[in-house]
Amino acid sequence: MKVRIDVCASLVGYDQTSLVPAGIEGHRVLFDAEIAAFVLIEHKEHTKMKPKNTICLWFDKDAHEAARFYAATFPDSKVTAVREAPGDYPGGKKGDVLTVEFTVLGIPCLGLNGGPEFRHSEAFSFQIATDTQEETDRYWNAIVGNGGRESQCGWCKDRWGLSWQITPRVLTEALAAGGGEAKRAFEAMMPMKKIDIATIEAARRG
């Protein structure tokens, strides 16, 4: 059994021409099936590598519930693994859910059920960029309506105490513009809880 080199090269992004020996340019080079299998395994291992940086979030005992909520609320979000404790530990017992791997809008996270000793604060928050009022309202209402609470200037907190900034792009663009536009947008934002895009846009225009 033989496998063509162009198939192998496409798997790992090799330049096919660099693999063609001198003197047979223009011809397809055939690799043994064993070599092709090795290349395929290397490719699969590369795509399954754990990210270099993962956000670790400490929960009392509700990491799995929180991760499921985030996956249901935000696109490109899912629970990817649930690990049980191999033995008793200060925050739980053997067999309890210890860690939960999940993504929030593509960002890798790890929920750790470590017990009640440490709690979330506004020192850490997720900032979610939105493009429309409908999107802003949807995320805000999902978090606040699920036992969370409103704060100021686009900030809210979910039922587990994790802080979220639901921030329309029009606001960040206005603040980045500087000058009078930024000042007007900033002053319009200050009394708000959930951000109202129409009010920010009006403030930008002056």
DSSP state of 89: B
Among candidates 125, 127, 129, which has minimal Cα distance to 160?
Answer: 125
For residue 156 the two structure tokens come to 């809210």
Question: Which amino acid is residue 28, in one-letter code?
Answer: R
The residue to which tokens 């395994």 are assigned: 41
Farthest CA pair distance, the chain: 75
Contact partners, residue 80, CB within 8 Å, separation at least 6: 101, 102, 103
Distance CA 89, CA 78 (A): 27
| E strands, 48-124, in order | 55-59, 78-84, 97-104, 107-113
Q: Which domains does the chain have, with CATH numbers?
A: 2-47 (no CATH), 55-113 (3.10.180.10), 125-205 (3.10.180.10)
Close Cβ partners of 115 (under 8 Å, ≥ 6 residues apart)? 60, 61, 90, 91, 92
pLDDT tens for the chain, 206 residues long, are 333 333 333 333 434 444 444 444 444 444 455 544 444 444 444 446 788 999 999 999 999 999 999 999 999 999 999 999 999 999 899 999 999 999 999 999 999 999 999 999 999 999 999 999 999 999 999 999 999 999 999 999 999 999 999 999 999 999 999 999 999 999 999 999 999 999 999 999 99
Whole-angstrom distance, CA of residue 57 vs CA of residue 82: 14
